[in-house]
Amino acid sequence: MQRPLLVVFFLFTLGLSLFAEDLEVRSRSAILLDASTGTVLFEKNADEPIPPASLTKLVTMHIAFQDISLGKVHLDDVVPIPRAAWAINQSWGSSLMFLGPGQRVTLRELLLGLAVCSGNDAAVAIALYLAPSIQAFADRMNQEVQRLGLTHTHFVEPAGISEHNVTTAREFAAFCRFYITEHPEALFSFHSVREFAYPKAENVAEAYKNN
C-alpha cells in the first residue's frame, strides 16, 4: 500500500468552527481550503513538490470535458482501445477498469472508469483518443496547467503512475477549485457514482464472447 503523499481538503459548509490544532494529518503535504472563497484554513508543506499520483486523472478528465464542450468528441463516441490501453499492459499494481482487445467502450464509460475505478487503462485510452501519443496528450495537460498559472505542476503521462508527474498541494487545490467551477455537472454524473460494472455483454465483441 502506498503511503499518502498529498491531501487536498475542501470545506463547503459555512459557519463551521475549525482549528488547525484539531487536525492530525499524516500525509507529507496537505491543504484545507474554503471552496467558496479560497481561504486557506490549514496547510502542511503545501508548496513542497510531490507526485500527484491518481489525482492526475482529474486533469485528464478536464481535457476530455474541454474537447466535449468544443464538440470535438462526444460522450457516446465508441473509443478504440489500442494495445497500449489494455489492462494487461499496465504497470503492476495498477488500478484498472479492465479494458481488453475487441471491447466496444464509450467515452462516457471511460470517464466513469477514471472517476470510479481510477483506471490507469482508461486514462491511456482517453489520452490516445484525444491525442496522437501519450507525450502529445501530456503536452496538452502541461499547456493547460500553465494557462491556469500552475507553474510548479508538470505531467509526463495521464494516469499518475510516473514519479515525474509533479505538483504541490497548493497548486492542485487551486486546480480542483477551478475544476469544480468549470465542470459542476461532473460531480454528479461521474464523481458521485459509487458503483460501475464493466465489462458488460454489450462491451464485448461477438468474436471474443466465447474465448
- Could you write out the DSSP letters of every residue in the chain? -PPP-EEEEEE--TT----GGG----SSEEEEEETTT--EEEEESTTS-B--GGGHHHHHHHHHHHHHHTTSS-TTPEEP--GGGSGGGSPTT-------TTB-EEHHHHHHHHHTT--HHHHHHHHHHHSSSHHHHHHHHHHHHHHTT-TT-B-SSSSS--TT-BB-HHHHHHHHHHHHHH-HHHHHHTTT------S-GGGB-HHHHT-
Give the pLDDT confidence score for residue 8 in this predicted structure.
55
d(CA 209, CA 190): 28
200 carries an active-site annotation? no
57 carries an active-site annotation? yes
190 lies in some domain: yes
What CATH number is associated with residue 82? 3.40.710.10
1 lies in some domain: no
Model pTM above 0.85: yes
Q: Name the catalytic one among 27, 44, 54, 94.
A: 54
74 lies in some domain: yes
β pairing state of 29-34 and 6-11 = parallel
Say whether both 142 and 193 belong to one domain: yes
Task: Report the amino acid identity of residue 25.
Answer: V
172 lies in some domain: yes
146 lies in some domain: yes
Overall number of domains in the chain: 2
Residues 6+ away with beta carbon under 8 Å from 180: 10, 35, 187
Say whether both 77 and 164 belong to one domain: yes
Say whether both 39 and 115 belong to one domain: no
195 lies in some domain: yes
* Residue pLDDT tens, the chain, 211 long: 344 445 555 444 444 455 555 667 788 899 988 888 889 988 999 999 999 999 999 999 999 999 999 999 999 999 999 999 999 999 999 999 999 999 999 999 999 999 999 999 999 999 999 999 999 999 999 999 999 999 999 999 999 999 999 999 999 999 999 999 999 999 999 999 999 889 888 888 765 656 5
133 carries an active-site annotation? no
Give the pLDDT confidence score for residue 21 in this predicted structure.
55
Give the pLDDT confidence score for residue 12 in this predicted structure.
42
Q: Is 196 exposed, middle or buried (0-12, 13-18, 19+ CB in 10 A)?
A: middle
Say whether both 132 and 30 belong to one domain: no
Say whether both 176 and 107 belong to one domain: yes
- Give me the domain span that covers residue 97: 53-206
